[in-house]
Structure 1
């Protein structure tokens, strides 16, 4: 018994020794892992605790018109961010912070809820574009509220009164839906992104690349020093194709009327002006639009956010008769066709009225165009049939997107038997074609489509893709990708018989004569051609059934250009509820006149004042001595009077002086 009692302490001692050794090994391994293996990682974490990255937001690129005049600028702004990684209980500070920033606790709670999934290290945008008083509040409470950080940034400054608003677009905070889209994979919550117009189409170029500054902070989050700075890269500025003078003329012409205007150079596809009414103020979006204002915009029955120049799909009315004339002439049907208009015609068992109830008498293709005879085009449509009409309408881009470099363009509709079977599972009835012949029925088009289609016919079949940014402003890879981003019929050429071309354009010039449908739009001394159109917004039968027989007005259309062949500018007007196409024609005339007057003024200035640069540097042996040049005494040019080139001064002089020889 004595021996057993002697052995027990020895076993216990051995176990205790092994336990102690094991604990020491674990401690040694832990220290080795902390001090050797994890040294670099923990060093980085320690650095992060004392270094804070303050974002430097890149200013968006500016927008200029075709002559280099500033359209969209930026202005300096300060925003307040909430930094959550200070180890400070910021939740207890919210009531005081809310009062200092003129907010409510509920508003701040909503922001925290919105960014609840954001990483802890990411500062949250608490309030944008803060006032000087709010900025002073933050600075005065730096020690109390280290979680508040101010960041300087550049915000958009748009033209007043919605000038070119639909073309330019607006910016706003990236939404959750957008963040789930691979297209916005590089964006983070709180980032500003283009949401419509040029701002959206060219966002990746305009937005630039944000930078940051490393700031040293103490354990309480207070700034005690600064380290390196990664400078922001400003966004690329872009030159738009619009001409501010033409744009202003279009804005003034449409005024407060609902509708749209688009002016375009048919030679290049450059959009010179684009207006949509009603409009909105993009400056409301530059900071953060309120929920009440946003709801008002999206519930407005007039759709102020809709760019009607590229998104209004409406019956084009009698402007479509030019496409009908083109189809009829190219098919060899309309050249010798004559009809007698007595105020209507019976086709397919239905009597179709002409808009002139007393009739137009004997009508050929010329008269049918400039007097817009419905009976002629009912008859022409019946002879052509829907498939031939659709063939030539598609040739000039009706029913297809143009490919303009703006988001959300719509395609309109060009009906056909195939189209009706595909979408309605019904066969096409021959009697349906007569309404198509006058641009009614199922035909719908946008102003940009009609502008491009009719300018293509007036240009002998050359059709250009409309665009609002000069392609040479874009990087090569971006330029190639642009056409994939904005699918459409693009640039193309179609064959037009020269006789058809002359017939149509000469008749369109007569539209503005005393015998035409819009003599009030005639411009003295300007070769102005066009076509009026009035399109019903609902059938007479439906209007009567709804009790709106006398209150529903037709939409007024007009497409015009100058000169009549190979035009330099085409203008399409949609005047909603304008009733008569001639009223839209008067609006187009104002835009055409403004454009032509400007071109003439520029040409006169170039002829009368074209400067020439003459090398006068060789005339001076003594640079300060006066010399006689062209019969006038001149001195060595200074400053902006001369340019230095290849070691010589070049003096800018009028032609009469430049033509004289030095003695």
Structure 2
């Protein structure tokens, strides 16, 4: 068969195209084969690892929070089993209906319900969201029984913070609570994964807040197998992480509980400290709140009651309550007078009032005390004596001595919220109020009234510095972190003469241990346990001439907020001081009637238990009232 020229040209063209196509196919095959060899042989280890990482997920686990214990190792804050209920939204077609059914077993108010719905909206649908915590065993069992009818509900047992003594340590320990958006803003970004874990808590107040980073611990991890949607199939490995560090406080559990029982029912505070080391043995504030409820979510109605109470249960009174010190301040004025050259034996006549210009300043004793020297003026709490002395030495001398004894300042105390109080001077008044200082203001400062403000912690420090011979002991409440004892700040001499200190000490001894002293009936009679103290009564309102003319003004006849504050400071034992103490009973009337009996009972308990005993650590030393105080 003969092929024509035209057909021959077509055949040759087809052959070239076929060859070209075959060549392209061959090249493509070689490239594909080469790529497959590269991926399956040369890169096999890398892609095997990537495939494994896509199948296996690493998830953070919240560590156990570190325990807080007292000076003898007894737990004050720890962890306990937490019966809780979680909800996985992808497993229910109607989240709100599920919550409504659950609320028949576990109470879920509208506020809590809105918060749950918000958390669900922010989380992946397969991620469990905490619905209720702190269930009783009966509630938890009921949820488990009804689980088939509660689509998406997952009963679970976790760990939660527990405060076994509730109100008794509330203001010192503080509490933990859920992490808020504001909390996240303060934390480094690398910590956000841990903080966003379901049920994770951080310290919000008190010691829990101060040492939160120490108490958190190191997070662990769980290696789990997941499917393409990220849902957990099984757990492959688990590292529980490292618990938070144990925190040892200087507090004595037994003394704290005794002190709480003694002030419970009052709006009051009490502070006990070691006069040499500065260890806080007990510090209570009443009334208080239940810190466990903050952990689980304080009921709205109950929290509103706390906010509206006139007794201020949320206020940490030993640190942030500020009160005129009243007659407990008279030792400071006496020491300032001695250092200014006034002889303690010099007498001042008290007729019941002190005249300055056209104004009369009254003594709590209407008929007066007669002729008083410095010792008797402290013992009987004579106001007129201290009016006269204050005017003679001036406010600056009083202010200087006040600061030496720890007033008008903070101590960098470990619990947040510490206030500095106020030691007034002419310079302060000019700067703060734009007014000049008047001599009458010096006179009333002499009995701890006027602008002068102190906290119960400061009054305890003042008393400790008198008792320890004039050394600048600093209060603290943390003994050790993670098994390591913390160093004590050095205690330095205040630069006050031995003579001035002896006048203050002898006067306080007279108050409690000499007949006629304002707290003589509230002394400790046990040999070797005698205490030295000083009563104080601080006015919160001005008494009018009309009221004074009618006779004695009784606190119990006044509205609670108008009654005088009752104060008492003391140290013991007298001959070898070891512990100092302050008690303030808000609107309690007189210091001798309301505060002194409480202080006596607590101090007696402290001396019986001697919590400082063999574990004591002593720091190195360096080169107005209208009633009896």
Indicate whether 1:534 and 2:537 are aligned.
yes
> What does residue 508 of structure 2 align with?
508
User: What is the CA–CA distance in structure 2 between the aligned matches of 1:81 and 1:38, rounded to whole Å?
Assistant: 43
Shift in Å at residue 426 of structure 1?
A: 1.9
Deviations 1:306-359 (A, max 9, x none): 111111011111101111112111222253532100001112442110111110
Structure 1: gaps (5+ residues):
1-12, 18-23, 484-488, 604-663
2:225 alignment partner in structure 1? 216
1:73 matches 2:78: yes
1:553 equivalent among 556, 559, 563: 563
2-side partners of 1:159 and 1:144: how far apart? 33
- Are the aligned partners of 2:119 and 2:129 in contact in 1 as well (CA < 8 Å)? no
Question: Take 2:329 and 2:77, find their aligned partners in 1: how far apart are those partners?
Answer: 36
Change over 3 Å in CA distance of 1:493–1:230 after alignment to 2: same
Give CA-to-partner distance per residue, 1:69-116, whole Å, 9 cap, x none.
3333321124444567xxx47564452355246466964453342575
2:568–2:596 CA contact under 8 A, matched in 1: yes
Are residues 1:64 and 2:98 paired? no
Count matched residues: 575
* Equivalent residue in structure 1 for 2:604, among 593, 602, 614: 593
Residue 160 of structure 1: how far off its partner (Å): 3.9
Gaps of 5+ in 2: 1-16, 22-28, 548-554, 615-629
Preserved contact between residue 325 and residue 334 of structure 1 (Cα < 8 Å): no
1:157 matched residue in structure 2 = 162
| Match of residue 608 from structure 1 | none
Q: For 2:79, what is the secondary structure of its paired residue? A: strand
**Equivalent residue, structure 1, for 2:98:** 96
Change (3 A) 1:82 1:35: farther
Q: Does 1:359 align with 2:368?
A: yes
Determine the C-alpha separation between the residues in 1 that align with 2:230 and 2:335: 74
1:263 aligns with 2:266: no
Matched, 1:581 2:586: no
User: 2:11 maps to which residue?
Assistant: none
Give the match's secondary structure for 2:296. coil
Correspondences of 1:29-428 after superposition (within 5 Å): 50-51=55-56, 53=58, 55-82=60-87, 88=90, 92-96=94-98, 98-100=100-102, 102=106, 107-114=112-119, 124-130=129-135, 134=140, 152-160=157-165, 162-182=167-187, 186=191, 188-189=195-196, 190-218=199-227, 223-428=232-437
RMSD: 4.2
**1: CA distance between counterparts of 2:266 and 2:293?**
22
CA distance in structure 2 between the aligned counterparts of 1:511 and 1:442, rounded to whole angstroms:
26
Equivalents in 2 of 1:113, 1:37: separation in Å?
49
In structure 1, the residue corresponding to 2:329 is in which secondary structure? helix
Seen in structure 2, the aligned counterparts of structure 1 residues 116 and 316 have a Cα distance that, compared at 3 Å, is farther
8 Å CA contact 2:269–2:317 kept in 1: the answer is yes
The DSSP-based 3-state class of the residue aligned with 1:593 is: helix
1:430 corresponds to: 439
Q: Offset at 1:128?
A: 2.5
User: Could you tell me whether the CA contact under 8 Å between 1:58 and 1:153 is conserved in 2?
Assistant: no
Deviations 1:250-292 (A, max 9, x none): 1232131111001111110111111111122222223222222
Structure 1, 170-179 or 92-101: larger mean CA deviation: 92-101
2:328–2:448 Cα contact (<8 Å) kept: yes
Alignment CA distance shift 1:416-1:35 (3 Å): farther
Residue deviations 1:393-415 (CA, integer Å, cap 9, x gap): 11111110122211111111111
In the alignment, is the contact (CA less than 8 A) between 1:506 and 1:564 conserved in 2?
Answer: no
8 A contact 2:143–2:155 mirrored in 1: no
Kindly report which structure 2 residues correspond to 1:596-607, keeping only aligned pairs within 5 A, or say none: 596-599=607-610
Does the aligned pair in 2 maintain the 1:165–1:279 contact within 8 Å?
yes
Q: How many Å apart are 1:471 and its aligned residue?
A: 4.2
CA distance in 2, matches of 1:403, 1:371: 36
**C-alpha distance in structure 1 between counterparts of 2:354 and 2:335, whole Å:** 22
| Cα drift, residue 599 of structure 1 | 3.9
Q: Do the aligned partners of 1:55 and 1:151 also contact (CA within 8 Å) in 2?
A: no
The alpha carbon displacement at 1:518 in A equals 1.2
* Structure 1 pair 431–184 and aligned structure 2 pair: CA distance change class (3 A): farther
Distance in 2, Cα, partners of 1:41 & 1:392: 76
* C-alpha displacement of 1:31: 11
Quote how far apart the aligned CAs of 1:562 are.
0.7
Q: Secondary structure at the match of 1:540?
A: coil
User: For 1:296, what is the secondary structure of its paired residue?
Assistant: helix
CA contact (8 A) 2:364 2:382 kept: yes
**CA contact 1:527–1:564 (8 Å) conserved in 2:** yes
**In structure 2, C-alpha distance between the alignment counterparts of 1:412 and 1:185, rounded to whole Å:** 39
